[in-house]
Structure 1
């Protein structure tokens, strides 16, 4: 699509604006990770009850995702991103200020809904900017999300020790709000409201889409487990202090961010299927070492190695979903992303229920097995190969 110099500059600013929204969203999620052990202690609840609270977070996100999609179809992605990202800035503070179990449950439900709604709208906005710019920005946008998680998780434990859990949440809110207010001024989106409109969603009949969805599911369940339970695992089962425990998700997100920024080059060199196989093996090895390491420092390094492997697995699954035969890209992507995010947001609550009785080390070992299954299923992602016409995901 031809563009004037002014509109091209607007789109460039829009590209970095949506990257900033990804960064803030990841920062908020990463900042929640070190708050989890604090929530357990201050409410004096069991891992089972904490698992129910985290389930509420995931349920809120999954409920909000189709609602956000409806709003985007009606109004375009830009105003939806603006509204939800602004509200999302206050989500963690609501959880930190909630005084009792019922209020924390409600706050987490709302926080999850705002995170999930923002996630859908920022991805839709990134797609719109991609189309208007004529080049891909999705992979690096997700890299910014991981970078935000790295910063939020890495600094969160130290901030809680220094400022308390409410002070930490206040600082997180101030940073998120300021960045959101600046970024949303420069968002670009669909060229016209009609671009945001689409046909009613229907379930695809191609069974390969659901198998690719399992790849996304098996890749995202470990990510959700590290987010919600790695800090508690290191603190309770490996004797780490609060600040050190928060480094587990930080290391995981940091290596994931680095590999997502470099992932296009790796995928171009090896191909999608080979990249998925190598990535799955690296991720499985890291998760297994983290499960059985007696030393917190080694476990943190192992979680970081696992993040390095998982980084490219979900983008490859999404690319394969969008290039299946006989169905639209939207139908394939909608199905696979829903399956994947269910693993990221809901499965960790089940892990909490089990972990209360078994400990978390055996669970991380089982998750290593899920990643091995992805290696065995990698051939199903062949539609993501560039030779098959799969889209390039080079960073802009």
Structure 2
């Protein structure tokens, strides 16, 4: 918890952590209105999946050019520019009047999501190196906290907004204003150290990092799927009629993930990375089984278990990747994170296609299977390391 104390007691550390939270506040608010957009445009799950894939395509488009933008205008300025434009652009999908416009606007949002994500992680990395502190895990905890704030508060107040755009406007205004007020603490950071680390992506690393890469792809893919489909699952499969109640699955997922990430370092120190990943997968499998019972309380509890299990997996994968023999920490972490992020982006569309073939029950059964595969892969790695 020392890293959390550092963040809460020093604006230099809190300001970039708040960017992490801000990104997911907007996503968490958007998630509440995915069913509304789907009904307004009269599209099916497969079409919605393609629209969400456009978000992913925007992100993938930005990956090769994000470092150039950072180099041009500076790391701190890119972070503020990214979160501001990302928040403003997220108003567009809510008001899109056609399916084509929805796809275009989500693509544009994806561009800024990637730029912000790369910049904020590099910013924290730069500050860690300059100040010799460790705040990355806790900063990711703030990302999960943002989901709790966006979807949690949003689920409570959603019934008071007759026009969804009003809700998104309030969320956007809060995010933009708060970031503008506190960004001065990092605005002039250029980011040379973080920039060098970001350029270390090399496909030759696939062989030594294959197992970790598979796990990252599967687990982050499941995270992305739950983020976009949890509310629709509660509405379409569990038959929840209340807008506020239907958002509680994602709230539970984000809340337990937040807690897990704030306390995960201490647990890892005691049991070790591979054991923690196996335990996290087991907890998540139990969570998926609870979700698939299709009972309201069991499903919400299940989403909470999944969030708790997933919370410790990605940080531990990064820890292992950074310690892989013959590979620098920057190379290992950026490579595993890159493939994990691809999984995060493509999984929502994949679930949409599965749902169109069968139902969302089939989609969440697939997530149960992928989590089990991740656990088996970790067991293999553990046996090989003995």
Alpha-carbon distance change, 17 to 288 in structure 1, aligned in 2, over 3 angstroms = same
Alpha-carbon distance change, 193 to 205 in structure 1, aligned in 2, over 3 angstroms = closer
**Aligned counterpart in structure 2 of residue 17 of structure 1, from 15, 18, 25:** 15
TM-score between both structures, scaled by the size of structure 1:
0.88
**Offset of 1:216 from its aligned partner?**
0.6
Could you tell me which runs of 5 or more consecutive residues in structure 1 were left unpaired when the two chains were aligned: 1-7, 386-396
**Offset of 1:197 from its aligned partner?**
4.3
**Offset of 1:304 from its aligned partner?**
0.7
Instruction: Give runs of aligned pairs for residues 262-341 of structure 1, distance below 5 A.
Output: 262-291=263-292, 293-341=293-341
Alpha-carbon distance change, 192 to 342 in structure 1, aligned in 2, over 3 angstroms = closer
Q: Matched residues in 1 for 2:288 and 2:195: separation?
A: 40
**Offset of 1:362 from its aligned partner?**
2.5
Alpha-carbon distance change, 32 to 195 in structure 1, aligned in 2, over 3 angstroms = closer
**CA contact 1:58–1:346 (8 Å) conserved in 2:** yes
**CA contact 2:125–2:194 (8 Å) conserved in 1:** no
Instruction: Give runs of aligned pairs for residues 164-183 of structure 1, distance below 5 A.
Output: 164-183=163-182
The total of aligned residue pairs comes to: 374
TM-score between both structures, scaled by the size of structure 2:
0.91
Q: Matched residues in 2 for 1:105 and 1:155: separation?
A: 27
Q: Matched residues in 2 for 1:267 and 1:381: separation?
A: 17
1:105 matched to which residue of 2? 103
Q: Matched residues in 2 for 1:229 and 1:192: separation?
A: 36
1:119 matched to which residue of 2? 117
Alpha-carbon distance change, 221 to 160 in structure 1, aligned in 2, over 3 angstroms = same
Alpha-carbon distance change, 363 to 85 in structure 1, aligned in 2, over 3 angstroms = same
2:157 matched to which residue of 1? 159
1:261 matched to which residue of 2? 262
1:389 matched to which residue of 2? none
2:3 matched to which residue of 1? none
2:342 matched to which residue of 1? 342
Q: Does 2:225 align with 1:219?
A: no
Q: Matched residues in 1 for 2:36 and 2:271: separation?
A: 43
**CA contact 1:22–1:142 (8 Å) conserved in 2:** yes
SS in 2 for 1:89: helix
Could you tell me which runs of 5 or more consecutive residues in structure 2 were left unpaired when the two chains were aligned: 1-5
Judge which range, 281-290 or 11-20, deviates more. Answer: 11-20
Alpha-carbon distance change, 381 to 131 in structure 1, aligned in 2, over 3 angstroms = farther
**Offset of 1:75 from its aligned partner?**
4.6
Alpha-carbon distance change, 47 to 325 in structure 1, aligned in 2, over 3 angstroms = same
